[in-house]
């Protein structure tokens, strides 16, 4: 249901995000990921509208920020997002993080997502940065069985294996953000060696490794050549030995870890 690769837009602003989305759609990307907190929904929407690609052919994701989790506020914030995006619906809306200190009960915010879906504001619902116990709680509340993904940080230096496996066991697909570890994968000798064996880049090897685990990847890039190579990485096949060598790079190196983050699973 969720395309296996998408374009992440975190940290991209103004003309940079317009150009990035425009180029990605020209190259064949059909999955675009944004969020209220990114401050770029209007530009993402403009690029989509001007692309010539039919709206129904694009899988568009946005995320609700934690200060809009109460029922009425969540619905209103999503309506505001749709106005900025210039569309009647998104294909997926996520709770961007668990509610800090459980200020808003998960049953309330999930209930609001379910209502948004029933009203046609979104086609699908999910969560992001939820731990195993938080995901279990979300799945158990009314409407929680409609959650289709948990978007979490995944790259060779943070395999997030326990949480990813738990999501799979619960029938929730993982979407992996920061799959290139904000460029750090390009500096790793082991990844570069494997890349040389395939005549590709270390970034492509990292993406192929994430995708081989059945995880959706949403790398961010402003350069056409990098976007193209990221797409081509989906066609790479790694040997079991190569996968094991990459697995061994896991060092629990978490990049997205704000002060309000939950207590992470080991």
Q: Which residues are annotated as a binding site for substrate?
A: 96
Compute the distance between CA of residue 132 and CA of residue 109 in angstroms, rounded to an integer: 18
Catalytic residue among 29, 38, 89, 177: 38
Residue list for the binding site:
96
Nearest CA among 54, 63, 115 for reference residue 87: 54
Nearest CA among 148, 144, 161 for reference residue 209: 161
Compute the distance between CA of residue 137 and CA of residue 126 in angstroms, rounded to an integer: 13
**What tokens does 129 get?**
């940065």
Q: Output the 3-class SS for 67-129.
A: HHCCHHHHHHHHHHHHHHHCCCCECEEEECCCCHHHCCCHHHHHHHHHHHHHCCCECCEEEEC
Nearest CA among 67, 132, 141, 140 for reference residue 97: 67
Strand partners, 33: 8, 61
Residue tagged 């195993």 (tokens): 132
Q: Is 38 a catalytic residue?
A: yes
CB neighbours of 136 closer than 8 A, spacing ≥ 6?
170
Q: Is 47 helix (H, G, I), strand (E, B) or coil?
A: helix
Greatest Cα-to-Cα distance within the chain, rounded to the nearest angstrom: 54
Length of the chain: 266
**216-217 and 147-153: which strand pairing?**
unpaired
**What tokens does 91 get?**
């294909």
Cβ neighbours of 258 (radius 10 Å): 8
Active-site amino acid positions: 38
């Amino acid at each position: 249901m969720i395309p296996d690769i998408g374009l992440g837009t975190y940290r991209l602003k103004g003309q940079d995000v317009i150009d990035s989305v425009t180029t990605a759609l020209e190259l064949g990307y059909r999955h675009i990921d944004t969020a209220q907190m990114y401050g770029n929904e209007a530009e993402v929407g403009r690029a989509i509208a001007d692309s010539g690609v039919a709206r129904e052919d694009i899988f568009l994701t946005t995320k609700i920020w934690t200060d809009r989790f109460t029922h009425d506020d969540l619905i209103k914030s999503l309506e505001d997002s749709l106005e900025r995006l210039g569309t009647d619906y998104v294909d997926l809306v996520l709770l961007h993080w668990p509610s800090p200190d459980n200020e808003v009960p998960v049953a309330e915010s999930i209930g609001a997502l379910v209502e948004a879906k029933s009203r046609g504001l979104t086609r699908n619902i999910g969560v992001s940065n939820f731990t195993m116990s938080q995901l279990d709680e979300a799945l158990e509340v009314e409407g929680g069985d409609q959650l289709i993904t948990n978007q979490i940080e995944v790259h060779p230096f943070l395999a997030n294996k326990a949480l990813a496996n738990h999501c799979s066991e619960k029938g929730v697909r993982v979407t992996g953000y920061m799959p290139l570890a904000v460029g750090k994968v390009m500096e790793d000798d082991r990844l570069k060696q494997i890349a040389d064996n395939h005549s590709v880049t270390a970034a492509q090897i990292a993406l192929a490794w994430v995708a081989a685990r059945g995880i959706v990847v949403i790398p961010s890039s402003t350069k056409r050549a990098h976007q193209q190579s990221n797409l081509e990485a989906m066609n790479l096949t790694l040997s079991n030995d190569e996968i094991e060598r990459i697995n061994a790079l896991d060092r629990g190196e978490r990049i997205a870890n704000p002060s309000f983050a939950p207590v992470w699973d080991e």
